Amino acid sequence: MKKTGKSAVILFGVFFVLAICNFRAFAQPSVTVNASVSETTVYTGERISLSVEVSGDFNNVSRPTLPRLQGFRLLSNNPSTSRNYSFVNGRSSSSYTYSYYLIAQNKGSYVIPSVSVEIDGKEYTTDPITVRIVDRNTSATNPSAQSRPGIFLMMEVSDKTPVTGQQLIADVVLYFKEGLEVSSYQPIPGWKAEGFWKEELENSHRPRAETVILDGVRYRKARLIQLALFPTKTGELTISPYEIVVSVRSAATRDDPFSSFFGGFGSNQRQAELKTDPLNVEVRPLPDLPDGRYTGAVGSFNISREVNTREALVGETIEIKTTVKGTGNIPLIGKPAYDLPDGLEVYAPQEASSLNRHNEQISGSKTFTDIIIPRSPGTFVIPEEKMAYFNPDQNRYVVETLPPVTFTVERDPNAIASSGQTISFSVQPITGLAAWVSPHSAEPWAYWWFWAGLVLPFIVLGIGYWQKTYQEKMHTDTGFARSRKAAQIAEERLNSAVQLSEQDHVKEAYNVLQKALTGFIGDRLGLPEAGLANQEYIAALDNKGVDPNLTKNVRMLLDKCSTISYAPDASQGYLKSHVELARSILDKLKKVL
């Protein structure tokens, strides 16, 4: 077959036509349908407009089908329409706007359901809209409405009970009554949020005012500044007042409360310095970390780790880059610590972060670069790591697993000379049996002997001093010595009496028994050792206040001892019974004397 190239031209033409068709298909812009209302908070009886805007590239559009509306009355089924047509960069687009007017009838919060529109045979629906209807008569009597100024500033935060590190969106919102017009504003520099790390968010739109009704009074509100705040500690934190200067122009009407304040001769524009009230936030602590390493990240993140090379020479730099990307407290995230294998020289890590302040939140990425230099050849494995961050939306830690990083290091052929130095190292490892110990660092005062050794000298000193004093008194104080020895001497005398009786010297035994009793009483009461009659011992006992019955027994026994010398039938058994009686009496006397 002769090659002419004709078939190729035909093929190219077919492809070109198909490509054009496909391009048109892909280039066709999408159609959007939006519904909006003129006010989201209205008084009963007021009129609002509901607009349905169809924009994009389309041919046929049907009139919107309104759903059943609760709380509102539709003024007319026939909407007013407006149409815009534009042709930009070779592309045409048009927009249709259908406007309906609704009368607010009953107070409450109502949802205007989705509105459906058929465009080029396809049905589109809008998002539902919530509108609050306020009763003008009852709300106007609210006393707090009178105390609220005509223009004021408020700080509104997204969450009043965040956890540490959670991103809070704080809006500085200006409220002003109708009749006032804010031409410009300027924040006063130097605002500090103690306990927070703060970042100002960027908004592409100029502040837009919308209507709200506060305690029955209609206000316009506009968000002037949006901040991202990250609490750095737990507990109750106070967001300090934020101050701005606003330029306000008021309508010079007699009823306007601001006309007197702002009013002037010819010009009614003034500047006012406004500040928000201090706002308390209760910061909760983070829960305990179940698993993995935590580096302070709070938000929603993707964490990844990579190494810049898998093969290197000894002494070459290797970089391990860890990237944390997402939404949250990116600047507060700390460097993750890895278990690096031995043989690596670790240098100071580098940190870099990029922040995106759009879309009403702080997002972006933070990169940590660990710089390491291998000192020996081999295959190095940085083990798998579990990195955790706290996700406030899910109220839990999310653990991301970083896979292990492996790289191989070869010996540098130009550095052979340096490796030769290790050969001169002559110390050999110990490979036999080793003496194993489990070191423990107990303090000396953890041992019993420490306390025993510390207390014992005081005990020895105390007892020794007491014994020394006792012995000295025994030697120097006769009365004390007699008193201390009285019981022992009495006992010896009683034993002696028993022995004498056993040797048939009963009468002598009674004499000894009498001595035992009188000697004990005399020694204990400090009476003379001899020359006293029994009656004097009895009198001494009475004076001491001894129990009369006991004194009576003593007297009886002493009388018996005195008279037994004259008794013809003094037997051994009789004496023994008296000795036992004497022992019993002495035991009782020991307790009272």
Binding site for another protein (CB under 8 A): 341-343, 345-347, 375-376, 378, 380, 421-422, 424-439, 443-444, 447, 449-450, 453-454, 456-457, 460-461, 464-465, 467-468, 471
Between 208 and 375, CB nearer to another protein = 375
Q: Chain centroid to CA 444: how far?
A: 37
Compute how many other C-beta atoms are within 10 angstroms of the C-beta atom of residue 41. Answer: 21
DSSP 446: G
Between 394 and 421, CB nearer to another protein = 421
Between 282 and 351, CB nearer to another protein = 351
CA gap 449, 456 in Å, rounded: 10
Task: Provide the token pair at 48.
Answer: 């609002």
Using alpha carbons, select from 185, 197, 183, 262 the residue that is nearest to residue 232. 197
In the complex, minimum distance from the CB of residue 43 to another protein, in angstroms, rounded to a whole number: 59
Between 25 and 434, CB nearer to another protein = 434
In the complex, minimum distance from the CB of residue 483 to another protein, in angstroms, rounded to a whole number: 22
Between 351 and 559, CB nearer to another protein = 351
CA gap 72, 549 in Å, rounded: 114
Q: Chain centroid to CA 258: how far?
A: 47
Q: 3-state DSSP call for residue 375? A: coil
Q: Judge contact between 84 and 95, C-beta under 8 A.
A: yes
In the complex, minimum distance from the CB of residue 293 to another protein, in angstroms, rounded to a whole number: 15
In the complex, minimum distance from the CB of residue 298 to another protein, in angstroms, rounded to a whole number: 20
CA gap 59, 62 in Å, rounded: 10
In the complex, minimum distance from the CB of residue 310 to another protein, in angstroms, rounded to a whole number: 17
Q: Judge contact between 371 and 347, C-beta under 8 A.
A: yes
Task: Provide the token pair at 15.
Answer: 């492809």
In the complex, minimum distance from the CB of residue 335 to another protein, in angstroms, rounded to a whole number: 11
In the complex, minimum distance from the CB of residue 193 to another protein, in angstroms, rounded to a whole number: 22
CA dihedral 310, 312, 318, 320 (to 10 degrees): 10
CA gap 228, 360 in Å, rounded: 8
Which secondary structure element, helix H or strand E, spans residue 479, and what is its range?
helix 478-502
In the complex, minimum distance from the CB of residue 303 to another protein, in angstroms, rounded to a whole number: 21
In the complex, minimum distance from the CB of residue 457 to another protein, in angstroms, rounded to a whole number: 4
Q: Judge contact between 540 and 525, C-beta under 8 A.
A: yes
In the complex, minimum distance from the CB of residue 406 to another protein, in angstroms, rounded to a whole number: 13
Beta bridge partners of 381: 406
User: What values do phi and psi take at 403, rounded to 5?
Assistant: -65, 160
Between 75 and 289, CB nearer to another protein = 289
DSSP string, 48-72: EEEEEEEEES-S-BPPPB--PPSSE
Between 346 and 533, CB nearer to another protein = 346
In the complex, minimum distance from the CB of residue 421 to another protein, in angstroms, rounded to a whole number: 7
CA gap 80, 49 in Å, rounded: 10
Between 216 and 377, CB nearer to another protein = 377
In the complex, minimum distance from the CB of residue 446 to another protein, in angstroms, rounded to a whole number: 10
**Number of Cα atoms under 13 Å in the Cβ half of residue 103:** 6
Between 426 and 549, CB nearer to another protein = 426
Amino acid at 217: V
Which secondary structure element, helix H or strand E, spans residue 284, and what is its range?
none
Between 124 and 380, CB nearer to another protein = 380
Q: Is 585 exposed, middle or buried (0-12, 13-18, 19+ CB in 10 A)?
A: buried
Between 427 and 530, CB nearer to another protein = 427
CA gap 280, 238 in Å, rounded: 4
Between 342 and 393, CB nearer to another protein = 342
